[in-house]
Chain A
Amino acid sequence: MPPYLRISRLTKKFGGFTALDDISLEIAEGEFVCFLGPSGCGKTTLLRAIAGLDIQTAGRIEQNGRDISALPPTKRDFGIVFQSYALFPNLTAAKNVAYGLQNARTPRAEVARRVSELLEVMGLSAHGAKYPAQLSGGQQQRVALARALATSPGLLLLDEPLSALDAKVRVHLRHEIKQLQRRLRVTTIMVTHDQEEALTMADRIVVMNLGAIEQVGTPLEIYREPASPFVADFIGVMNFVAGTVVGDRAVRLGHTELACELDGLAAGTEVTLAIRPEDIVVHEGRATEPNTLTLRVDALAFLGSLFRADLVGDASDGVFLRADLPVDLIRRRGIGEKSMLSVLLPPDRIRIYPGSTVHR
């Protein structure tokens, strides 16, 4: 099946600044894709290029087999929701939703039917006659969503739609938007800088940095197998430790040699070893297994469901790791600051990146 949206070799320059650098991407029909990255990474620029709001400097965009590269926004097929909602303040919720439906061809009754149907879907039936200023933030966002979906666009663009909301409302709306998207099967692109939002909502995540795509993958792929130290660092918490390749399947870390997958890196190569805090396992018994380090607890932070421990090696090897330890383990073993622990770094959970830049 051909992709619904195909972006080929897209570049956007603002004066001397390259906001998008040779981006290529394909999105399937009905897919929910998140553009994720820090501010200034180009994710919003890419969205605006797809909408035709900032036309690209070079490259091509095809939607549903049609080349839309040079079309103005009015000639493209999309609905858009902004962080600011951009609801027309002098029109009621119902009139906002009706805004795109009203034209000479559509009978009034038809418009009214569609509007009440959309308000119903959004759980806003009681609020149709209210002005935006009289609605809560979450309600306003739902009106904006209804307005964008009213014309049944083939593509739904969401520009940080949840950033302006309270934490609780945000979590709730995340779920609602995802449900709605599944039901309508509308191809959706959401821009966000919130990794949790991307991980919970997206079918696929496009991680961007400095105008380029770092990695495209499902949330699990992105989290489990980050393609670069940047992705590893940006998504979730990651430990980075500098090391040197010493053999076919081993890396030297201070005094210790650790077994791991090396992807054919030659001995002597400087590398960065990465492991997530939750993948570090504390030995209950003797520490004779391979891939084990003996470390001292430098600090313990209580995070509710678990403890995050700062673990340090002796001064000469400079190892510093953060590990998530179960509350139960801490209590049972009487672990406190200055306790010595034997921890296992499972080989299949260690990722190795060439280069010795240690991220913190």
Chain B
Amino acid sequence: MRLFIGVIGLYLVAALALPLGLMLAKSFEGPREEFVGLANYVRYFSTPALFQSIGNSLWVSILSTLITVPTAFVYAYALTRSRIPFRGFFKTVALVPILVPSLLPGLALVYLFGNQGLLKATLLGHSIYGPIGIVMAEVFTTFPHALLIVLAALALADARLYEAAVALRASRARIFWTVTLPGARYGLISATFVVFTTVVTDFGAPKVIGGQYNVLATDVYKQVIGQQNFQMGAVVSVILLVPAIFAFLVDRAVRRRQVALLSARAVPLEPKPQPLFDLAMLAYCVVVGLALLSIVAVSQFAAVVKFFPYNLTLTWAHYDFDQKGGGGWASYYNSIRLALLTSVVGTFVVFVGAYLVEKARGFALGRGLFHFLAMLPMAVPGLVLGLAYIFFFNAPGNPLNVLYRTMTILVINTIVHFYTVGHLTALTALRQMDPEFETVSASLKQPFYRTFWRVTVPVCLPSTLDIAIYMFVNAMTTVSGVVFIYGPKTELAAISVLNMDDTGEIASAAAMAMMIFYTNVAARMLHLLLARWLERRTQAWRRR
């Protein structure tokens, strides 16, 4: 078993720890790779054009967080504490942003509020290119993430607490402030930090709609791609890591506390009908749902007409990707290949890794270190990981250099980029299993891998499917992790969206972004069918 831990651990070291370490070292080097101490940092903080981005990043992140979290909270409240109809539908609608690259809301906002946009007048002379556009796009992108966390927190409610409050004659408002909010507070804190981190590290939205408004993520891109100043790119990356790691640590601490709440034996809460309140909540969900859907609808509409919104003649011309600035249809197929490979290989690696961390006996140091490496990617922004890959894999002396700009390196990068969530999902599933299975097997003289295949894998099958679909969807939409390391033959669909937007072919960019969306919708539906079929085939033992 140690051998297996070693192999997967080595993968995390080579694909995560070494590149990041090298990047940190580069931030202390000059253009000829000589050690210059803090010189780069001094230069950074004495160049207003650079360090102003810190303030900009914080500003849009805080603003987006302040809008997203309350919006998501009310939405989650409507879904769990009211009797509105179509709750399943509203939840599905709210999760749509997960299925599109973060470039898409920017494109739709250009159509809606851009220089020739339909609703430009509503901005009262302000430009959508800048903080307004970034914040609107980020609210769209982060909404489902906040919603899922708050939903989980609200779902933990114990009906007995509410009954006790009513028995003590507390008013509705008092119950809300003394029971509902405290019960959801860890969820709210967690959602706050997740949204903040996502915005601060996001590259897609500010790239498309940020205009001249520089933020840290676009600075890394500009330093590396525009000015080829890798050292300064490394400096900005290190600065970008600070808020991400801080938010990550706070989130970890908060989540650990939430577990204590979970273990209590709660009686599930069934909301009672309250016509007026239910109607208000329904109206709210309709408005938010429409806002989310309209972003996607505008993208789709713009992609199939000549020139939205002035010439609404239907046309397929924007889908002629091979004639456009991006990587053509080939990039779309590359994305599917990447998503499938990441999904299959990633699920295998992540699950086996989590199994070893959880079930191996002894070797505590190695397992602890492995777990730390598995948690680290959550705190590392995609761009930072990508830049670190340039330093590591493109280094002339590195034998892994052959991988540079191949599909293999994209798969390696994407698995690492999204490793943590899969790891946690697998750990949760494994921890629900009796810790004595391995002991019993040993007493029956069965090797550990037999129990792994006959018991562990079948019992955890639903969770492994969840990991697979998570990896697939993220591999389809990711831009930041791969933007520095794709090659001419391995351009991806989301990168094409970026490049076509750069060359002004916005309609085609929107068309490609929608291709990603439909692919992810299809994948999710396939996942649902597969999960149902497998449940019927292999999970009969769950029924009583």
Chain A interfacial positions (CB closer than 8 Å to B): 51-53, 72-74, 76, 78-80, 82, 84-86, 88-91, 99-100, 131-134, 147-148, 150-151, 153, 157
Contacts and interface: CB of A to CB of B under 8 A. Distances in A.
Given A82-B436, A84-B436, A89 B443 contact: no
Nearest to A130: B541
B103 to A, nearest CB: 43
A86 B459 contact: no
Contact of B443 (A73, A90, A131, A133): A73
Interface string B518-544: 000000000000000000001111111
Interface string B418-444: 000000000000000010110111111
Contacts of A147: 440, 444
Contact of B440 (A72, A86, A133, A153): A86
18 contacts: A52-B442, A72-B442, A73-B439, A74-B445, A78-B443, A79-B444, A80-B439, A80-B440, A82-B439, A86-B439, A88-B454, A90-B455, A90-B539, A131-B541, A133-B541, A147-B444, A148-B440, A151-B444
B434 A86 contact: yes
Nearest to B436: A86
Given A74-B446, A86-B439, A100-B445, 12 more contacts: A51-B439, A53-B439, A73-B443, A76-B443, A82-B439, A85-B434, A90-B539, A91-B454, A99-B446, A99-B454, A148-B443, A150-B444
Interface string B64-94: 0000000000000000000000000000000
Interface string B441-473: 111111100000011001100000000000000
Contacts of A85: 434
Nearest to A54: B361
A78 B445 CA distance: 10
Contacts of A157: 443
B454 A134 contact: no
Nearest to B461: A90
A132 B541 contact: yes
Contacts of B544: 133-134
Contacts of A82: 434, 436, 439-440
Nearest to A95: B454
Contacts of B436: 82, 84, 86
Given A73-B443, A99-B446, A147-B444, A133 B437 contact: no
A321 to B, nearest CB: 42
A74 B458 contact: no
B7 to A, nearest CB: 22
A157 B436 CA distance: 13
A179 B459 CA distance: 35
A294 B411 CA distance: 89
A88 B455 contact: yes
A99 B442 CA distance: 11
A91 B542 CA distance: 11
Contacts, number: 73
Contacts of A78: 443
Nearest to B542: A133
Nearest to A55: B362
Given A53-B439, A82-B436, A90 B444 contact: no
Interface residues of B, number: 23
Contact of A100 (B446, B447, B542): B446
A80 B291 CA distance: 60
Contacts of A79: 443-444
- For the complex of A and B, list the 3 residue pairs with the smallest distance between their C-beta atoms, beginning with the closest: A100-B444, A73-B442, A131-B541
Given A80-B440, A147-B440, A90 B458 contact: yes
Contacts of A74: 442, 445-447
B447 to A, nearest CB: 8
Contacts of A133: 541-544
Residue among B442, B443, B447 facing the most chain A CB atoms (10 A cut-off): B443
B465 to A, nearest CB: 15
Interface string B213-251: 000000000000000000000000000000000000000
A88 B436 CA distance: 10
A51 B454 CA distance: 23
Residue among A78, A82, A89, A131 facing the most chain B CB atoms (10 A cut-off): A89
A89 B439 contact: no
Residue among B445, B455, B538, B542 facing the most chain A CB atoms (10 A cut-off): B445
A88 B445 CA distance: 16
A52 B454 CA distance: 24
B538 A86 contact: no
A52 B362 CA distance: 13
Residue among B442, B539, B543 facing the most chain A CB atoms (10 A cut-off): B442
B444 A99 contact: yes
Contacts of B446: 74, 99-100
Contact of B541 (A86, A90, A148): A90
Nearest to A148: B443
Nearest to A86: B436
A157 to B, nearest CB: 8
Contact of A51 (B443, B445, B455, B539): B443
Contacts of A153: 443
A86 B540 CA distance: 18
Nearest to A88: B455
Contacts of B455: 88-91
Contacts of B459: 89-90
Contacts of B458: 90
A51 B455 CA distance: 22
Residue among B439, B542, B544 facing the most chain A CB atoms (10 A cut-off): B439
A213 B29 CA distance: 66
A164 B442 CA distance: 23
Nearest to A133: B544
Contacts of A72: 442
A91 B434 CA distance: 14
Nearest to A53: B439
A51 B361 CA distance: 14
A86 B437 contact: yes
Nearest to A76: B443
A80 B443 contact: yes
B434 to A, nearest CB: 5
A89 B444 contact: no
Contacts of B440: 80, 82, 86, 147-148
B395 to A, nearest CB: 43
A62 B94 CA distance: 64
A151 B459 CA distance: 25
A185 B258 CA distance: 50
A157 B440 CA distance: 11
Nearest to B440: A86
Residue among A89, A90, A100, A147 facing the most chain B CB atoms (10 A cut-off): A90
A150 to B, nearest CB: 8
A171 B467 CA distance: 46
A114 to B, nearest CB: 13
B112 to A, nearest CB: 51
Nearest to B460: A90
A80 B440 CA distance: 7
Nearest to A159: B436
Nearest to A151: B444
